[in-house]
Amino acid sequence: MNENDMQIKDAIEYSINVLTLSDSKQIDSEVLLCFVLKCNRTKLYTHSKEELSNQNKNIFKKLVKKRAKGCPIAYITNEKEFWSHKLFVNESTLIPRPETELLVEISIKLIKNHSLNEILELGTGSGAVAIAIASENLDTNIDATDINDEAINVATKNILKHNIKNINFIKSNWFNSIGIKKYDLIITNPPYIETNDPCLTNSDIKFEPIIALASGIDGLDDLRKIISNSHNKLKNNGWLVVEHGHNQGDDVRNLFIKNRFTTTTIKDCNQLERVTYGKLI
Ligand SMILES: C[S@@+](CC[C@H](N)C(=O)[O-])C[C@H]1O[C@@H](n2cnc3c(N)ncnc32)[C@H](O)[C@@H]1O
């Protein structure tokens, strides 16, 4: 064997050695290698002595170096799974988080229990939340907004990929360009990180768009705008569901109450307060 040859098992070993700082060296290495070889993870074990072509070896090493600099896997592979849908993502959109599936679960329950049809999602990003809801075959019309043209391009790509017909995208700064329509339900996962939070510069999060993450000194600027303006866009007895930071539950409940909403807060799988919802009364 030539010393430049690289078998599948050597490629994994190489990558693990390069990704010294990653908490997920093994899985990152396997995902990247599967992406380059266009295969599933089982093949890495059943064909561990298969040689990589020179081209694949060079591509793989380049991607491993990118990951070593902190670039999230989802931006390297341009893919992230959410609600069992493979979504296209790039640097103009937030990478959908597993916690946000709770926002979807609660919204679906409300839609079913109260026969809600006209839905508005604010800050759709990759379209993850709107697509998850639309894919449940409920009788809904969804308007989904974002301030960022590039995010709307990505979300449009995703509805075409998943053949979703009942989502209409609107470029809008929160409610500014929504028009006069009123909705049964408003859903949002807005930016809610404090502007000075070191995680915005110290962690892999720094690769994600700041406009999707940071929201003023207490992280509540966008939640304040959304919660205090929602009643103008909701029908009587309409519902509002928001995702927020684990330490923002009290503030968000107070904003709901101040703006004439009932409040219920649900904890995520880590037992952290994550989603608050309420009915306009
Ligand atoms: C936390 S991300 C959520 C993305 C997506 N809904 C998800 O859960 O993966 C917040 C989104 O709000 C958008 N956004 C930020 N400021 C906005 C504004 N003023 N008006 C509308 N959208 C905004 C960002 O571009 C981003 O896509």
Site to probe by mutation for ligand 1, drawn from 79, 94, 95, 159 as the one with most ligand atoms within 8 Å of Cβ, is 94
Rounded Cα gap, residues 36 and 9, in angstroms: 14
Closest-CA residue, ligand 1 atom 26, reads 212
Question: What's the pLDDT at 3?
Answer: 63
Q: Where are the domains of the chain?
A: 8-70, 82-279
Judge contact between 194 and 248, C-beta under 8 A: no
Helix (H, G, I), strand (E, B) or coil at 29: helix
The region that residue 137 occupies, defined by phi over 0 for left and psi between -120 and 50 for alpha, beta otherwise, is left
Q: What is the pLDDT of residues 77-96, one digit of tens each?
A: 999 999 999 999 999 999 99
Question: What's the pLDDT at 81?
Answer: 97
- The alpha carbon of 89 and the centre of ligand 1 are apart by a number of angstroms equal to 14
Q: What is the CATH number of domain 82-279?
A: 3.40.50.150
Q: What is the pLDDT of residues 34-49, one digit of tens each?
A: 999 999 999 999 999 9
Rounded Cα gap, residues 17 and 238, in angstroms: 54
Q: Decide: 125 in ligand 1 pocket, CB within 6 A.
A: yes
pLDDT beneath 50: ranges in the chain:
none
Q: Tell me the whole-structure pTM to 2 decimals.
A: 0.95
Question: What's the pLDDT at 137?
Answer: 80
Question: What's the pLDDT at 59?
Answer: 97
Rounded Cα gap, residues 208 and 216, in angstroms: 17
Architecture of the CATH domain 8-70: Orthogonal Bundle (1.10)
Question: What's the pLDDT at 277?
Answer: 98
